[in-house]
């Protein structure tokens, strides 16, 4: 590996990078695979795939025809890694997976790749109806994705009210001896205590499947007939129940725009671009239902084509989301056939990507593009506002430069217990939630009652650790501390001891601790008050509140975990995984204490010896 330091010229670094690639070329076959460019810190600079690895990688040695961006990438490269695959399709799937995992700097990246919510009916004699996020397996039926969490929650609430399917876990279901609150508020039929037979419960399950699937109108027709028949025989109570079911289900249908002709299973993607900013609005149609839409923003360089952008987006997007049979786009992806083949292999069904030119499909694409334009317009407007705020912060606090990376710190604890420090990050285009960090405070060194100054000192020391090259990774341009002069002094002294020069602002709430009366402190400066209607004050309050939210969330989780401690935690030889297995099997620590040896040994991870230890723990005590 060539030795590269700060003094090395740009030409020399580029030459060294080319030599790294040429050396690796001697070992590369002309087969499909994935390659990774690695920098001196060991981070992936770029992940690419190729039908012929040798030919593709060799193109990086012809630096005179490379764009400036790729020349910089080659100059930073100190190592090249490859993974061979059987086909180019496998290479494309692996490439998109690695891009998602490693987020290489020079790749096209999907900024917001949160998983969407689905409604799930579990595979169980009495199926569980629940909201699901994450990967999709074969443990039940899934309906979605829903772009809005509110839409999922609203649909579930209506289905619980109408069909009264259970919402409890399998463990709770197995161990319950009397109905829970859901039964008493008429949101569950209490199958756990056999208040409903499996046959009748199965009928309700089929009704839910019909509504969420492709037979919603059939269900409404059946309910209409049932209501009329009940009315004819003067059974007005049953007729009223059917009427209420029809009313609730019709309301959900109206919200989802159900049964739009020609859209059974399809995703509609409208892409717009302005400079290096691109937005793709995705509409989700499943079983004829419109499950909403959401904008996605991707980071890239201006030299990437629209075809390359939509291709990279599609492959990253479907890493975590179910693939429909049809994807409609306003820009055709680069290597269309390869992308279709990869998605078909991933979803085990035929997937088509199509650009409609006329008809209803074209109108829906135009609607997606219009929404995408509005979303991008709002984002650019926000960015302009952010830039304006950052310039004002620079002017108000006499900073050396306009900050591009701000880190905001806050601590949360209860008299020194369960103490956490939190760091949130704001870049020039908004909060960077992937860079947030929580610091569990070393309680053995935290004074009794909690010492905010010592906690802040510990957090700053841990955050500012340097890498092997003696650099601070992602060094901030400004630190904002939730606190007053004391916290400011603690942080400033810590930075001086570490030999680090970063501007620091402490933000306190004023004598009455009311929002709007904040006081800003800097070393060597008089305290600063901003007008209550100053947009910069609102901006800084938003940063402070986000840090507070993030800190207190960690603290509450820890407190909740402590409250949920049980006697099982004190059994020798029972760690977190075995505790989880015991509670999942028996439902509660009380049931564990009543279990016999034969019951204990059937639990995963509990052998005969440990079963005897557990039994003795509960039965040898008075």
DSSP for 30-65, please give it. SS-EEEEEE-TTS-EEEEEEESSHHHHHHGGG-GGG
Residue at a domain's end among 561, 584, 610? 561
For 190-215, write each residue's pLDDT tens digit: 999 999 999 999 988 988 887 777 55
Residue at a domain's end among 376, 397, 429? 376
Q: What's the confidence (pLDDT) of residue 401? A: 93
Answer whether residue 495 shows pLDDT above 90: yes
Answer whether residue 433 shows pLDDT above 50: yes
- Among the listed ranges 66-70, 132-136, 436-440, which one has the minimum average pLDDT value? 132-136
Q: What's the confidence (pLDDT) of residue 261? A: 52
Residue 328 pLDDT grade (very low, low, confident, very high; cuts 50, 70, 90): very high
Q: What's the confidence (pLDDT) of residue 277? A: 85
Q: Which range of residues forms the domain containing residue 430?
A: 405-561
Residue 389 domain flag: no
- Among the listed ranges 145-149, 415-419, 525-529, which one has the minimum average pLDDT value? 415-419
Write down the pTM of the prediction: 0.61
Contact of 45 with 63, CB cutoff 8 Å: no
Q: Which residue has the higher pLDDT, 564 or 211?
A: 211
Residue 563 pLDDT grade (very low, low, confident, very high; cuts 50, 70, 90): very low
Looking at the fold, whether 578 and 601 belong to one and the same domain comes out as: yes
Residue 348 pLDDT grade (very low, low, confident, very high; cuts 50, 70, 90): confident
Residue 5 domain flag: no
Looking at the fold, whether 84 and 210 belong to one and the same domain comes out as: no
Q: Which residue has the higher pLDDT, 506 or 382?
A: 506
Average pLDDT over residues 227-235: 75
Looking at the fold, whether 128 and 152 belong to one and the same domain comes out as: yes
Average pLDDT, the chain: 83
Residue 163 pLDDT grade (very low, low, confident, very high; cuts 50, 70, 90): confident
DSSP structure class, residue 322: P
Looking at the fold, whether 78 and 205 belong to one and the same domain comes out as: no
Q: What's the confidence (pLDDT) of residue 172? A: 84
Residue 393 domain flag: no
3-state percent breakdown (helix, strand, coil) of the chain, nearest 5 = 45, 20, 35
Question: What is the distance between the alpha carbons of residues 615 and 592, in angstroms, rounded to a whole number?
Answer: 9
Question: What is the distance between the alpha carbons of residues 563 and 565, in angstroms, rounded to a whole number?
Answer: 5
Average pLDDT over residues 566-577: 78
Answer whether residue 399 shows pLDDT above 90: yes
Question: What is the distance between the alpha carbons of residues 445 and 285, in angstroms, rounded to a whole number?
Answer: 55
Answer whether residue 395 shows pLDDT above 90: yes
Residue 399 domain flag: no
Residue 392 domain flag: no
Q: What's the confidence (pLDDT) of residue 385? A: 87
| CATH code (residue 574) | 1.10.150.20
Answer whether residue 266 shows pLDDT above 60: yes
Answer whether residue 609 shows pLDDT above 80: yes
Backbone angles phi, psi at 493, to 5 degrees: -65, -40
Residue 4 pLDDT grade (very low, low, confident, very high; cuts 50, 70, 90): very low
Average pLDDT over residues 222-228: 72
Helix H or strand E segment including 420: strand 417-427
Q: What's the confidence (pLDDT) of residue 103? A: 85
Q: What's the confidence (pLDDT) of residue 451? A: 73
Q: What's the confidence (pLDDT) of residue 259? A: 44
Contact of 355 with 335, CB cutoff 8 Å: no
Q: Which residue has the higher pLDDT, 73 or 564?
A: 73
Q: What's the confidence (pLDDT) of residue 209? A: 84
Looking at the fold, whether 441 and 471 belong to one and the same domain comes out as: yes
CA-wise closest residue to 327 among 274, 376, 276, 280: 280
Residue 381 domain flag: no
Looking at the fold, whether 367 and 439 belong to one and the same domain comes out as: no
Average pLDDT over residues 326-335: 94
Q: What's the confidence (pLDDT) of residue 513? A: 55
Looking at the fold, whether 99 and 205 belong to one and the same domain comes out as: no
Average pLDDT over residues 50-75: 90
Residue 593 domain flag: yes
Backbone angles phi, psi at 332, to 5 degrees: -75, 140
Question: What is the distance between the alpha carbons of residues 11 and 4, in angstroms, rounded to a whole number?
Answer: 12
Count of all residues that appear for the chain in the document: 622
Backbone angles phi, psi at 85, to 5 degrees: -130, 165
Answer whether residue 496 shows pLDDT above 90: yes
Helices 149-163, 236-256: crossing angle, 10 deg rounding? 170
Looking at the fold, whether 232 and 270 belong to one and the same domain comes out as: no
- Among the listed ranges 52-56, 146-150, 309-313, 365-369, which one has the minimum average pLDDT value? 146-150
Looking at the fold, whether 440 and 574 belong to one and the same domain comes out as: no
Supply 63's token pair: 């630096």
Looking at the fold, whether 544 and 428 belong to one and the same domain comes out as: yes
Q: What's the confidence (pLDDT) of residue 574? A: 84
Q: What's the confidence (pLDDT) of residue 186? A: 86
Residue 560 pLDDT grade (very low, low, confident, very high; cuts 50, 70, 90): low
| CATH code (residue 47) | 3.40.1440.10
Average pLDDT over residues 86-108: 87
Looking at the fold, whether 421 and 502 belong to one and the same domain comes out as: yes
| CATH code (residue 543) | 3.30.420.340
Looking at the fold, whether 201 and 334 belong to one and the same domain comes out as: no
DSSP for 363-413, please give it. HHHHHHHHHHHHHHHHHHHHHHHHHHHHHHHHHHTT-SS--SEEEEEEEEE
Residue at a domain's end among 256, 278, 309? 256
Number of domains forming the structure of the chain: 5
Answer whether residue 170 shows pLDDT above 90: no
Residue 385 domain flag: no
Answer whether residue 332 shows pLDDT above 70: yes
Q: What's the confidence (pLDDT) of residue 507? A: 92
Residue 125 pLDDT grade (very low, low, confident, very high; cuts 50, 70, 90): very high
Q: What's the confidence (pLDDT) of residue 491? A: 94
Q: What's the confidence (pLDDT) of residue 248? A: 64
Q: What 3-state class would DSSP assign to 182?
A: helix
């Amino acid at each position: 590996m060539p030795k590269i330091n700060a003094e090395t010229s740009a030409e020399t670094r580029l030459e060294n990078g080319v030599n790294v690639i040429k050396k690796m070329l001697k070992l590369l076959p002309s087969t499909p695979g994935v390659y990774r460019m690695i920098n001196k810190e060991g981070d992936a600079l770029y992940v690419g795939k190729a039908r012929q690895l040798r030919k593709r990688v060799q193109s990086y040695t012809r630096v005179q025809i490379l764009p400036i961006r790729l020349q910089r990438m080659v100059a930073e490269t100190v190592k090249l890694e490859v993974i061979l695959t059987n086909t180019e399709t496998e290479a494309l799937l692996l490439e998109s997976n690695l891009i998602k995992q490693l987020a290489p700097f020079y790749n096209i990246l999907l900024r917001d790749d949160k998983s969407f919510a689905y409604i799930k009916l579990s595979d169980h004699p009495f199926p569980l109806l629940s909201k699901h996020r994450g990967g999709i397996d074969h443990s039940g039926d899934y309906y979605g994705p829903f772009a809005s969490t509110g839409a999922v929650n609203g649909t579930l609430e209506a289905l619980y009210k109408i069909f009264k399917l259970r919402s409890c876990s399998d463990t709770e279901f197995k161990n319950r001896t009397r109905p829970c609150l859901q039964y008493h508020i008429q949101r569950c039929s209490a199958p756990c205590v056999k208040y409903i037979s499996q046959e009748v419960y199965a009928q309700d399950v089929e009704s839910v499947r019909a509504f969420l699937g492709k037979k919603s109108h059939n269900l409404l027709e059946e309910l209409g007939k049932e209501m009329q028949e009940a009315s004819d025989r003067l059974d007005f109570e049953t007729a009223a129940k059917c009427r209420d079911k029809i009313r609730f289900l019709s309301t959900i249908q109206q919200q989802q725009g159900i049964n739009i002709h020609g859209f059974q299973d399809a995703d509609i993607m409208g892409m717009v671009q302005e400079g290096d900013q691109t937005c793709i609005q995705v509409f989700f149609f499943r079983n004829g239902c419109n499950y909403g839409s959401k904008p996605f923003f991707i980071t890239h360089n201006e030299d990437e084509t629209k075809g390359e952008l939509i291709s990279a987006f599609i492959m990253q997007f479907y890493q975590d989301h179910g693939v429909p049979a049809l994807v409609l786009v306003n820009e055709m992806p680069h290597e269309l056939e390869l992308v279709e083949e990869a998605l078909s292999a991933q979803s085990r069904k035929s997937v088509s990507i199509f650009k409609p030119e006329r008809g209803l499909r074209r109108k829906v694409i135009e609607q997606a593009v219009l929404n995408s334009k509005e979303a991008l317009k709002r984002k650019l407007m926000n960015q302009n506002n952010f830039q304006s705020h950052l310039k004002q912060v620079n002017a108000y606090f006499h900073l050396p430069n306009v900050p591009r990376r701000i880190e905001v710190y806050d601590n949360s604890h209860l008299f020194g217990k369960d103490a956490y420090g939190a760091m949130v990050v704001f870049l020039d285009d908004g909060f960077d939630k992937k860079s947030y960090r929580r610091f569990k405070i070393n309680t053995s060194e935290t004074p009794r009652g909690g010492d905010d100054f010592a906690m802040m000192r510990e957090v700053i020391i841990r955050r500012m650790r340097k890498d092997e090259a003696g650099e601070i990774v992602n060094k901030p341009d400004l630190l904002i501390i939730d606190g007053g002069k004391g916290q400011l002094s603690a942080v400033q002294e810590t930075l001086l001891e570490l030999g680090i020069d970063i501007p620091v602002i402490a933000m306190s709430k004023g004598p009455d601790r009311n929002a709007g009366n904040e006081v800003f402190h800097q070393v060597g400066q008089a305290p600063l008050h901003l007008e209550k209607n100053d947009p910069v004050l609102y901006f800084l309050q938003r940063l402070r509140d986000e840090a507070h939210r993030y800190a207190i969330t960690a603290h509450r989780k820890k407190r909740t975990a402590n409250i949920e401690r049980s006697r099982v935690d004190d059994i020798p030889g029972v760690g977190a995984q075995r505790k989880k297995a015991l509670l999942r099997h028996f439902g509660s620590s009380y049931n564990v204490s009543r279990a016999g040896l034969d019951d204990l040994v059937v639990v995963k991870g509990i052998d005969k010896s440990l079963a005897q230890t557990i039994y003795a723990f509960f039965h040898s005590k008075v």
